[in-house]
Each structure stands twice: as C-alpha cells, then as structure tokens.
Amino acid sequence: MQLNDLFNMLAYGELSNHHIASAGDGTLLEAKQPQIVHFANEALTRLYTKFVLKEKSCIVELQEGNTLYRLSPEYSTTGFDNLLVDAPYIRDTVNDPFLDDVLKVLAVYTNYGGQRPLNDTNNCWSVNTPTFKTLQVNMVRSNEVLAVTYQAKHVMLTVPVENVDQEIELPTSLHGALTSFIAYKVYFNMNTPESQAISQGHLAMFNSICTDTTEADALNLSISGVNTRFNLGGWK
C-alpha cells in the first residue's frame, strides 16, 4: 500500500463525513495531509510494537572491559561517533547500514555456536536488556561476536507530503486497524462531545481488529530460529 492509497481509503471510508475529505473525490485536504501522516506514523508504531511485522538482525563485536552495548547508529561502523565510544562495535556496511529501528531484542546468537540465553537471571551467560535497545553482556569469551535478532520499526513516512508514492509496509489484514486509529486521532483532537464519541468508536474498531488478528493468527508470525548473519563479513 502506498501513501496515496491510504489517503483514498480514509477519504472514502472513516473520514468520508469529515471536512478533511469534503471534496468527495477520494482526496484529503492538502493542508491536513501532514497531520494525517503524523497520525499514520503513530498508528504504525503501535502496530509494529504489538505485532512482530519486521524482524532484522545486527552484528555486535564484544569489546574487552565493556559490558553495555547500546544499539544505536552512533556505535556502528558507518555512523561511528568518536565522542561517545573509542571504537564502533556494531558492524554494518554503507549498503546495509544499521538504522535506529530497534523495538525489542528477540534473540542473541554467538559465533561460538548456538544461542545465548536472554534475560535469564539464573544463567551467568545470559544477555540482558536493561533498556529496550541496550545489551548487558557480563560474560565474554575471546573474540566473541553476537548476532542480535530484533523486532524492528516501520519506515517512517515523511512530511511535507510531496511523495504520495511512499510505501507503507503493512499486511492487508491490518489496513483497517491503521485507518481506524488515524480516524480515532482525527476525531479525538476535535475535542467536542460528538467527536469524542465518534473517536471512541474508531478506537474500539482498532482494538477489535488487533484482537481478531491475534486470535486468528492471521499474520502467521514466527521468530527466525536460524541465524545467517555470521556468514556475512567473514564471521562463521
């Protein structure tokens, strides 16, 4: 789905009785499009947090004397900031840079073979996550490298809205949840008794679609159990 498709869906659907879509031709008022994009990004963040819609991985090279590893671009090879750290520990490339898109760490693998325990307080080899994008590694072996699989954010839609061909990566089964949440935000911000009632109806629809999707396992989601990133860049 592209951004223009989203505008059409809203204009003919949830916002068809709102002045934003008053032209009746499947378009939204240009002056209001940045607000809609803002609400769309908020909705996508909620959906990508609730469901594992994108799974990515990164390589972390453990350093002697360092136990905390923040998964941020300034610690990567391509985005390295020498004011923050002596040497980068996230190994990436110009063609595949590490982005600031971590929502949750899902699994950690080691070049010594197998998977490291995650947030297991009873295991000294456990990798812990004191924050959603920080690794705490207390036990390190010589030249150990970790492959971190994580739940990733969506690609942010941008404003000003010049490119209506921006791609929105979302399963068809969740399109209704996206439009319902946007409509909820639009009506909620009107701040009148009538609009508040309408907004709650859209929020209820958003929650209902999410619940139905979960119960039906409509997304058929699973976390990859096989790590292949050690085959990149010479790590085995």
E strands, the chain, are 55-61, 68-70, 90-91, 102-110, 115-116, 127-131, 134-137, 145-152
Domain map of the chain by residue range? 3-51+155-216, 55-152
Angle at alpha carbon of residue 167, lines to 166 and 172, rounded to 5°: 140
d(CA 162, CA 173): 27
Per-residue pLDDT at 232: 44
Residue 214's SS3 state is helix
Tens-level pLDDT at each residue, the chain (236 residues) = 999 999 999 999 999 999 999 778 888 999 999 999 999 999 999 999 999 999 999 999 999 999 999 999 999 999 998 887 788 999 999 999 999 999 999 999 999 989 999 999 999 999 999 999 999 999 999 999 999 999 999 999 988 777 888 999 999 999 999 999 999 999 999 989 999 999 999 999 999 999 999 988 777 665 554 444 555 444 55
5-13 own/partner pairs: CB under 8 Å, 24+ apart: 5/168, 6/36, 6/40, 6/168, 6/178, 6/179, 7/33, 7/36, 7/164, 9/175, 9/179, 10/36, 10/179, 10/182, 10/183, 13/179
Per-residue pLDDT at 235: 52
Per-residue pLDDT at 210: 96
Q: How far apart are the first and last CA of the chain?
A: 38
Per-residue pLDDT at 226: 46
Q: For residue 143, what are its two tokens?
A: 């030249």
User: Position of tokens 């319902």?
Assistant: 180
3 close to 163: Cβ distance less than 8 angstroms: yes
Containing H/E element for 179? helix 175-188
Containing H/E element for 188? helix 175-188
